[in-house]
Structure formats: C-alpha cells, structure tokens
C-alpha cells in the first residue's frame, strides 16, 4: 500500500490529485501538505503545513507519516515566475532539491511534473520530439529544464526512483487558475457561462498543447504504477491530448452556447511566453513505455466543463 506525501496540495493540480489519490489508495495514506492551512476536502485526511524551502520540515513530516512516495507539486507557474524570477528560482529549485534529498535519505519513490515550458523558441514547434533541443527563455522554463536534469541526476547518481511528465496547459473546473500562460483556456469557460463572452489575452492563431485535468491525474497514477524496467526515459515524458488556439475553444463552446463571442486584448508578456512554446508535442514515448492515452478531446472536455461549471455557479 502506497503512503504518499504531496506538496503544493492547495494548488491547481494538488487540490484535485489529493482527491484522486485518496480514492485510489485510501484517505489515511495520502498526506497533503502546503504552505497554507487546510481548507474544505483537504482537511478530511492527513494534512501538514510545510514550506518546501525548509528541508528539515519536509524530512520531519515524511518520517512522521512513514511515507514511501513524494509527489512534489509546489511551484510558481510561468506568468507569476516572470514577475518574480528570483523568488521563482528559490521556490521551484530549492523545493525540488529539498524533496529529492529527502527521497534519497529515506529511499522514497519520487514524482514531479515538468512542463512544455521546458521548451523554447529554438525547439521544433510541430510534434515536438521527446528528446530535442531545450533552450527556454523564461525563468519557469529554466527551472523546468534544470529540474528534469536534477531528477535524472538523482536517479543515476543515487538510485532514487524519480518519475515525471511534461504537462501541457491543464484545464479544470475545480481549482481557479494559478498564474499560468494557458489559464485563458480555463477562464473562457467560466466567462462563457457568466457573460457569454470572453476577451482572450492570447492572440488568435496561437496553438498550445492542453489537457483536461482527469487525464492528467490518471497519467500521474499510471506512470507511478508502471514497471520501472520499461521506463527508458523515466523523467519528463511528453504527454498531451489537445493542440488548440483560442478560436478552437470558442467554436467548441458555441456548439453549446450559440451566442458566445470571443474578442482579443493580447497581453505581451504572456503572449511572448506562449510564442516560445510548441504548437503540438509528440507523446509516443509515454504511449510506448507506460501506455499513456488521453480520454478527452476538446469537444468532450468542453461539454463536461460547461456542465460542471454551470452546476458549480448555481
């Protein structure tokens, strides 16, 4: 039976991953942690306040709960990291090496997500390969590339069972957007329900990879349960489900809300980040090595998002 410590449990991924893991492994076996106090469903199982820049606190909580796995999610996202690059480095890299060290010391399995932000403008933009040039031009991207290499190092040097994926933009109706460049793909659904209109800060024609959160959560569990002998890459697997631009979301929404309108007021900071990322990525390594396959496309995701948000906003 897995006993898993999750950092960043109140973030976009963490808030939903905790529920998923507790359903799979049992409430008492999932220790949620965050720098903030627990709220709502998170308080229904084990919870600890943990600052990931405090290595002694991470060790103390991992030891106390006798965990065998750390899933490290605590991080500043792309747009926020550009506003506070030094803070982003301290949190993103400091938290990562602290959790890796605890995993080494206690012989724990380890997961942390990378991102399509690890790619840069010189990376091939169409069907970006699993193994390719990575020269990001954002602090978030630099953090992610360094993190991928650090996880590989801890696996090769110390034998830590590190695993990870490169997430595309994640779309969810549960947690609010958290400062990412792809947040428009969440906001557009809320505004479709509330206003039947949305003003996108990302320009028309800007393709980026996306994924519905249920597929992302399933991918984490599936990768962590995979036979390590079959994992050639181990860390930073490309995974994706949808390559789309703002008008694709608008058209999918218009099938359900015919009067929905989209307009554009481009944010140059986030647009520059988006332009540096791939249009689409190749997930074939994840498919071959641990059977990754997304369930939702843009149409099935849109239907579910609109239904869930309408119910949530009642």
Give DSSP secondary structure letters for 155-220: HHHH---EE-EEE-EEE-SSSPP-S-GGGHHHHHHHHHHHTSEEEESS-TT--EEEEEHHHHHHHH
Tell me, what's the pLDDT at 44? 86
Of the listed ranges 46-55, 66-75, 82-91, 167-176, the least confidently predicted one is: 167-176
Q: What is the pLDDT of residues 247-288, one digit of tens each?
A: 999 999 999 999 999 999 999 999 998 999 999 999 999 999
Residue 140 bears catalytic tag? yes
Per-residue pLDDT at 188 exceeds 80:
yes
- Mean local confidence (pLDDT), 227-253: 96
Domain borders along the chain are 4-168+212-238, 169-210+242-312
Helix locations, the chain, DSSP H? 14-25, 55-64, 78-83, 85-106, 139-158, 184-194, 213-225, 246-254, 268-275, 284-290, 298-312
Q: What is the pLDDT of residues 101-153, one digit of tens each?
A: 999 999 999 999 999 999 999 999 999 999 999 999 999 999 999 999 999 99
- The top-level CATH class assigned to 4-168+212-238 is alpha beta
- Rounded mean pLDDT of the chain? 95
- Alpha-carbon distance values, 89 to 65, 120, 163, 272, 312 (Å): 28, 18, 21, 20, 35
- The top-level CATH class assigned to 169-210+242-312 is alpha beta
Per-residue pLDDT at 231 exceeds 70:
yes
How many angstroms separate the CA atoms of 188 and 78, rounded? 19
Quick one: which of 238, 247, 244 has its CA closest to 279?
Answer: 244
Sorting pLDDT into bands at 50, 70 and 90, what band is 1?
A: low
Q: How many residues does the chain have?
A: 314
How many angstroms separate the CA atoms of 284 and 164, rounded? 15
Exactly one of 47, 140, 190, 198 is catalytic; which is it?
140
Per-residue pLDDT at 176 exceeds 80:
no
Quick one: which of 17, 120, 37, 109 has its CA closest to 78?
Answer: 120
Whole-number percent of the chain with pLDDT over 90: 90
Q: pTM above 0.75?
A: yes
Q: What is the pLDDT of residues 63-91, one digit of tens each?
A: 999 999 999 999 998 888 999 999 999 99
- Mean local confidence (pLDDT), 12-23: 94
Tell me, what's the pLDDT at 193? 96
Tell me, what's the pLDDT at 135? 96
Tell me, what's the pLDDT at 159? 97
Burial of 222 (0-12, 13-18, 19+ CB in 10 A): middle
């Amino acid at each position: 039976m897995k006993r898993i410590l999750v950092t960043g449990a109140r973030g976009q991924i963490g808030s939903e991953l905790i529920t998923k893991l507790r359903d799979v492994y049992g409430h008492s076996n999932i220790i949620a942690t965050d720098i903030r106090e627990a709220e709502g469903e998170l308080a229904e199982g084990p919870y600890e306040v943990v600052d990931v820049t405090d290595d002694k606190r991470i060790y103390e909580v991992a030891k106390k709960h006798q965990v065998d796995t750390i899933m490290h999610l605590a991080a500043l996202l792309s747009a926020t990291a550009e506003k506070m690059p030094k803070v982003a480095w301290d949190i993103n890299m400091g938290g990562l090496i602290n959790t890796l060290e605890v995993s080494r010391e206690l012989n724990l399995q380890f997961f942390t997500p990378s991102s399509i932000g690890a790619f840069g403008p010189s990376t091939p933009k169409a069907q970006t390969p699993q193994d390719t040039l990575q020269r990001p031009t954002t602090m978030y991207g630099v953090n992610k590339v360094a993190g991928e290499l650090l996880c590989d190092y801890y696996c090769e040097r110390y034998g830590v069972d590190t695993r990870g994926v490169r997430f595309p933009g994640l779309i969810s109706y549960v947690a609010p957007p958290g400062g990412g460049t792809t947040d428009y793909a969440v906001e557009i659904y809320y505004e479709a329900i509330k206003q039947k209109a949305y003003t996108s800060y990302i320009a028309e024609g800007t393709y980026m990879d996306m994924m519905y959160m249920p597929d992302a959560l399933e991918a984490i569990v599936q990768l962590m349960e995979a036979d390590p002998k079959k994992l050639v890459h181990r860390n930073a697997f490309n995974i994706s489900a949808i390559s789309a631009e703002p008008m694709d979301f608008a058209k999918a929404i218009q099938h359900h809300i015919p009067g929905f309108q989209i307009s554009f007021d481009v944010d140059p900071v986030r647009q520059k980040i988006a332009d540096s990322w791939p249009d689409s990525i190749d997930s074939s390594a994840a498919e071959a090595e641990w059977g990754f396959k997304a369930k939702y496309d843009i149409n099935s995701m849109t239907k579910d998002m609109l239904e869930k948000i309408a119910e949530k906003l009642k």
